[in-house]
Amino acid sequence: MADTAQPDGSPDAAAQAVFEARGLTTGYDEIPIVRDVDVSFAQGAITSIIGTNGAGKSTVVKALVGLLPAWQGTVRLEGRAITRMPAHLRVREGLAYVPQGRIVFPEMTVLENLELGGFTLARQRAKLAQLLEGVFGMFPRLAERRAQPAGTLSGGEQQMLAIGRALMSAPRVIALDEPSLGLSPKFVEMVFAKLLELKSAGYTIVMVEQKASRALEISDWGYVMHLGRVAFRGAASVLRADEQVKRAYLGELPPELEAQFMQSETQ
C-alpha cells in the first residue's frame, strides 16, 4: 500500500481515533470489494474518503455503520468493538448515517421524518425537543416546511432533511455517503458549509465524496481508495497537493503502483 507521509497528529494515531476499522474486508454475496482496509477518524475532524467509481468507498462506509458485515477485521467506536453489532444498535452508541441519494420517507412530513430519526430517544421528550430546535436552527427552511410531505421538497431540501434526521439521534460520529450527489452548485456549497458547522460543534465527520478536491478543501484528513484498498492517506492539504493522488483519483496510478495493486487483487 502506498501512503503519503504521516504528519504528527495523523488520524491513524490511536490516541486520537474515535472511530476506526482495522483489516476490514467485506463485499457483496461472496465477492470481496474491499480488502484489508485500515481507516481511522479523529475526534472533531472531517475525514473524506475519495477515489474513482467502484473503488470501494461506499462499501467501506456501509461496513463501518453496520449495513454490511465485516468478513475480516475489526470496527471500534470510542475504543469499544462494534464489529458484530447491528446497525440500529450502532445508532444507539452514537453513530449516525446519511445514505447516498437523499433517502427520506416521502409520504411523511418533514417533522415526522425528523421525529423518526430520534427513535433511540423516544422516551426523552425534553432531549428530543432540544435536538429538534437545533436542527431547525441549522436548517431554517425545514422549520418553514415542517408540515410539508418530504417527497415534495427539492433535492437540496431533502438532503438537509436527511442530515437533520441523523442529528436527531444525538450522534457523536456522522457518516455521509455522497452528500453532494445530484445537488445544484448552490446546495453543494450549503451542504459543505453545514458540515463545517457540525465540525465546529464537535461532531466527528466521515464523508464519502466524488467531488474530491472540494471535499478535501473542507477536510482535515483524507483517504484515497483504489481497487478496494487504501492507496494514499494523510492530511487533506497534503493530499490535495500530491501529484500521485491526482493521478490516482483520475485512475492513473504510476505503473509501479498499478502493478502492485493488480498483483494484490490476484492473490
Residues 75 and 179 both lie in one domain: yes
pLDDT per residue, tens digit, the chain (267 aa), is: 445 544 334 555 444 789 999 999 999 998 999 999 999 999 999 999 999 888 999 999 999 999 999 999 999 999 999 999 999 999 999 999 999 987 899 999 999 999 999 988 888 889 999 999 999 999 999 999 999 999 999 999 999 999 999 999 999 999 999 999 988 899 999 999 999 999 999 999 999 998 888 999 999 999 999 999 999 999 999 998 888 887 767 444 445 554 554 454 444
Q: Which of 139, 170, 201 is the last residue of a domain?
A: 170
70 and 200 part of one domain: yes
Please tell me the total count of domains within the chain: 2
The pLDDT score that the predictor gives to residue 259 is 54
Which cell goes with 27? 463485499
Query: Domain of 265?
Result: 1-94+171-267
Quickly count: other Cβ atoms within 10 Å of residue 128's Cβ.
Answer: 19
* Residue type at position 73: G
Is 226 found in the same domain as 108? no
Residues 192 and 251 in one domain: yes
What is the grid cell recorded at 49? 474518503
All three cell numbers of 152? 415534495
Work out the angle at residue 233's Cα, subtended by the Cα atoms of residues 211 and 185, and round it to the nearest 5 degrees: 10
Which residue bears the cell 442530515? 163
Q: Is 164 in the same domain as 180?
A: no
pLDDT value, residue 248 = 61
Residue ending a domain, among 137, 152, 170, is 170
For 96, list phi and psi in degrees, rounded to 5.
Answer: -110, 155
Distance of CA 44 to the CA centre of its chain: 13
* Structure confidence at residue 14 (pLDDT): 43
Q: Which of 183, 154, 179 is nearest to 166 (CA)?
A: 179
User: How many whole angstroms separate alpha carbon 69 and alpha carbon 144?
Assistant: 39
- Regarding whether 152 and 120 lie in a shared domain, the answer is yes
Cβ-contact 230, 38 below 8 angstroms:
yes
d(CA 46, CA 208): 11
Residues 6+ apart with CB under 8 A from 135: 114, 142, 164, 167, 168
Q: 165 and 190 share a domain?
A: no
- CA dist 254 and 226 (Å) reads 12
Whether 264 and 236 share a structural domain: yes
**Domain boundary residue, one of 147, 170, 193:** 170
CB within 8 Å of 206: residues ≥ 6 apart: 19, 41, 47, 49, 61, 64, 173, 174, 175, 176
Instruction: Indicate if 86 and 178 belong to the same structural domain.
Output: yes
CA 22 to chain centre: 17
CATH assignment of the domain containing 199: 3.40.50.300
Q: Give yes or no: residues 23 and 130 share one domain.
A: no
Distance CA 253, CA 52 (A): 11
> Are residues 54 and 10 located together in one domain of the fold?
yes
Query: CA-CA distance, 125 to 129, in Å (whole number)?
Result: 6
6 and 77 belong to one structural domain: yes
